[in-house]
Structure 1
Amino acid sequence: MNFLLTNRLPRRLATRLVGRIARIEHPAVRVPSIAAWRFFSGVDLSDSATTSFGSLRDAFVRPLRPGARSFVSDPTVIASPCDAIVGAHGPVEDGRAYQVKGFPYRLDELLPDPALAARFADGQFVTLRLTAGMYHRFHAPADLAVEAVTYLSGDCWNVNPIALKRVERLFCRNERAVIEARLADGMPLLLVPVAAILVASIRLTFLDTPALLRDRGPGRVACDAAVSKGEEMGWFEHGSTIIIILPRGATLMPTLVEGQAIRAGEALATAA
């Protein structure tokens, strides 16, 4: 039933509609929409900077109070960029990663450039799923130099576990951004925010926060942006997924378990 309700309806139309509703500030729309969101998503606002919101969108992209998230200080540790549920993770096998067990996808389908995919063909990957009630902003997992962002237009399938078990190569079908970055020691790292149904936008703070990423249209934008560990990089306007791809030499934390909750700032991998 969940799959039918969220994937067998006009996904783009539903996403645009929710995006418009989420921006309405009139109390007749704002109050019931926020109440429904809080009821169905089980959101916890105890660490939010405010509990008073001008619209549903404001509730989705709420900032946290100062000090609500602490990023591990060890420079060799790559932290989780967001609050999330840990999904499939592990080694990239001959250029293949997994959305769930038995459902592989190729990096050269997910990423815009075969040469870029080849660079990570024997690396590590972690899938982080943001649910509708979670904190929707994401941060630099380490001190980074961002070199480029590529926007890839696509569908907006739901990215929950039910859909991941039914739609092959789902992440390669959906709208997404590929953020190319390097650590302070030169190690490359990719962050791939993946949009989903009802995700009205992906916004990147270091690139151009006021503009929707999709408003720029498909293509690669070179940049030279330094972001410090823990610094905000952008946000989703609903729940979605971030895939982190690391090269050979990085090691995922042995304590990672699929299905566990993780908070922004907690250790995800080591770079050495």
Structure 2
Amino acid sequence: MNQLVRQLSQQEQLNFLLTNRIPRRLATQFMGWFSRIESPLLTRCSIALWRLFAGDLDLEEAQTQQFNSLQACFTRELKRGARTVDTHPDIVTSPCDAIVGARGRIMGTTLFQAKGFPYELSDLIPDPALQEQYRDGVFVTLRLTSGMYHRFHAPADCTLQRIIYISGDTWNVNPIALKRIERLYCKNERAVLPLETGHADSALCLVPVAAILVASIKLHCLDTALDMNYRGPQRLNCNVSLRKGDELGYFQHGSTIILFASGNHQFRPDTETGSRIQMGQALLQRHAGADHFPPTPKTA
């Protein structure tokens, strides 16, 4: 048993060193360039290697299994009907396919990326009004692995009128790094998407966080991708109405989305930490008398 523990510890250390001690910006830029090369043969070979080392790539639900580039595979669309969206008006659905990470109540304005690693809303979201809006609210971290479906969708009927973009680093956001690097999400490139639902007691906000090999967030309401080459304004205006399940955008690779909700939301019982969830499945339920939340912090 002690030998197994030592082996796992060594594997974690190697993973951490390989993904976080390399030149992250250069690796991400290279991956961006490489993934855009249009060559069916090169793409097939790359996907085979990806499957060999990552092991979680499943293309059975993809609209097509023939790709001209690795980026086309990363950003693939699903077959019609591959996901079912819970349409109940009091249900907030998962915006993406993911593994449920840390979740729970926000303690004032403090939340957790992993056990023992707190951070402040102000460090993640540079908007005082939003910080107050989610004081004592709830949060859930949704981790998209490299092989998962990378598109994300509206978790409720809503409008999106502004986007806040924060440039930053490209640390890996896997569980090993989350246990070792404080305030990791607050260091990385990210976008803040306040979603107006039309209900005063149902505020929602998505924060897609980029990571190594991924630093590109494409939102359909913007003409340009938000990535390391972006030099535009930090605050971008838009005006788009979305039905629950409508596509908002996609990552170029796997990463993380943090979902915030006002304090009168409850977690659905089948969304335990470490569980897998698909886009469209019930994640939270709005309830005026909600007084029960799972303990914080928890981590995948």
TM-score range, shorter chain: over 0.9
When structure 1 is superposed on structure 2, of 245-254 and 82-91 the one drifting more is 245-254
**Once the two structures are superposed, what CA deviation does each residue of 1:182-234 show, in whole Å capped at 9, x if it has no partner?**
113243211000000000410001333xx211325351112221011111000
> Which residue is equivalent to 2:23?
10
Which letter maps to 1:142? A
Please say if 1:153 is aligned against 2:160.
no
Please say if 1:195 is aligned against 2:214.
no
Distance 1:217 1:14 in 2: 23
> For 1:158-237, what aligned pairs fall within 5 Å after superposition?
158-186=172-200, 187-208=202-223, 211-214=224-227, 215-237=230-252
Quickly say closer, same or farther: Cα 1:69–1:216, change in 2 above 3 A: farther
Paired residues, what number? 270
Q: Give the alignment partner of residue 40 of structure 1, picking from 28, 50, 53.
A: 53
Distance 2:219 2:51 in 1: 26
Decide whether the 8 Å contact of 2:221 with 2:238 is kept in 1.
no
Please say if 1:30 is aligned against 2:43.
yes
Which letter maps to 1:21? F
TM-score, L = length of structure 2:
0.87
> Which residue is equivalent to 1:112?
126
Decide whether the 8 Å contact of 2:74 with 2:150 is kept in 1.
yes
TM-score, L = length of structure 1:
0.96
SS at match of 1:34: helix
**Once the two structures are superposed, what CA deviation does each residue of 1:21-63 show, in whole Å capped at 9, x if it has no partner?**
0000134532321221232222111111010001000000000
Decide whether the 8 Å contact of 1:98 with 1:104 is kept in 2.
yes
Distance 1:197 1:168 in 2: 17
CA RMSD in angstroms comes to 1.3
> Which residue is equivalent to 1:76?
90
Distance 1:54 1:172 in 2: 35
Stretches (4+) displaced over 6 A: none
How far off its partner does 1:115 sit? 2.5
| Greater radius of gyration (CA) | 2
Which letter maps to 1:148? R
When structure 1 is superposed on structure 2, of 159-168 and 184-193 the one drifting more is 184-193
**Once the two structures are superposed, what CA deviation does each residue of 1:47-101 show, in whole Å capped at 9, x if it has no partner?**
1101000100000000000000011010110000000000000000010111011
Distance 1:239 1:14 in 2: 15
Please say if 1:51 is aligned against 2:51.
no
> Which residue is equivalent to 1:266?
281
How far off its partner does 1:254 sit? 3.1
The gaps in structure 2 that reach 5 residues or longer are 1-13, 288-300
Please say if 1:90 is aligned against 2:117.
no
SS at match of 2:221: helix
How far off its partner does 1:258 sit? 1.0
The gaps in structure 1 that reach 5 residues or longer are none
**Once the two structures are superposed, what CA deviation does each residue of 1:101-128 show, in whole Å capped at 9, x if it has no partner?**
1111100110011231121111000000
Decide whether the 8 Å contact of 2:170 with 2:215 is kept in 1.
no
Decide whether the 8 Å contact of 1:71 with 1:264 is kept in 2.
yes
Distance 1:13 1:218 in 2: 24
> Which residue is equivalent to 1:127?
141
